[in-house]
Amino acid sequence: MAKPPADREDLRRLHFINALFAHTTGQDLYLAAQIRDAIALSLAEFVRQNAAHPEFARKYDTAFNAAAAELLARLFARQPRHGFFHWDASLTLASATPLFTRAEIMAGLKKLAPFREATLLVTNLRPALLPPSARATARRKRDYEEALAFIRDLAAARTVRGSNLQLLLL
């Protein structure tokens, strides 16, 4: 018997938190579950809406990812030797296009250049290029794969030699 989708979503969120906060949790899923539950508690209103309206699940995922990114930004703000930059690719309709992608990633890399340890977090690139409400055509899939490769290549080419950049594409 297959697990209900809610269980799969909770597991996906747990792995998301474990990957995002690996430096804090040490890959301990129990600690990651506590962080996930704390974020979910802060989004209690969305949970109530999801119970009444299952179609709000996409909004909950977006809010959960934004809350996790905000928590990560706060965590890195307390570490003055570690740089952090977050780009949400779904902020505008044009933000995931190659020109705007390059501009945003370059702005982030410039901000992170003074740090020997840094994290560049890119969220919502997939939904921006492959919207869940639209068909995943071959062209959209190709655009997404090209955007991923472009971001990786740009980060590799523009990162200061000797620095340790963690590129997280979520």
Note the pTM of the prediction, 2 decimals: 0.73
Per-residue pLDDT tens over the stretch 80-97: 888 999 988 887 666 677
State the first-to-last Cα distance of the chain, in angstroms, to the nearest integer. 30
3-state helix/strand/coil string of 25-58? HCCCHHHHHHHHHHHHHHCHHHHHHHHHCHHHHH
- Given a cut of 70, whether residue 57 has pLDDT beyond it is no
Q: What's residue 168's pLDDT? A: 85
Lowest mean pLDDT, pick from 13-22, 44-53, 113-122, 139-148: 44-53
Burial class of residue 36, CB neighbours in 10 A (0-12, 13-18, 19+) = buried
pLDDT for the residue 146 = 92
Cβ contacts of 106 within 8 Å, gap of 6 or more: 154, 158
Each residue of 7-47: pLDDT tens digit? 777 888 888 888 777 777 777 888 888 888 888 877 777 76
85: β partners: 120
Model pLDDT, residue 17: 84
Residue 128's closest CA among 71, 75, 169, 90? 90
Q: Is the pLDDT of residue 58 over 80?
A: no
**Dist CA 51 CA 132 (whole Å):** 21
d(CA 52, CA 170): 28
Q: Is the pLDDT of residue 4 over 60?
A: no
**Amino acid identity at 60:** Y
41 vs 57, higher pLDDT: 41
Residue 28: how many other CB atoms lie within 10 Å:
13
The pLDDT value recorded for residue 160 is 82
Average pLDDT for the chain: 82
Average of per-residue pLDDT across 137-156: 91
- C-beta of residue 118 within 8 angstroms of C-beta of residue 166: yes
The per-residue pLDDT for 12 is 80
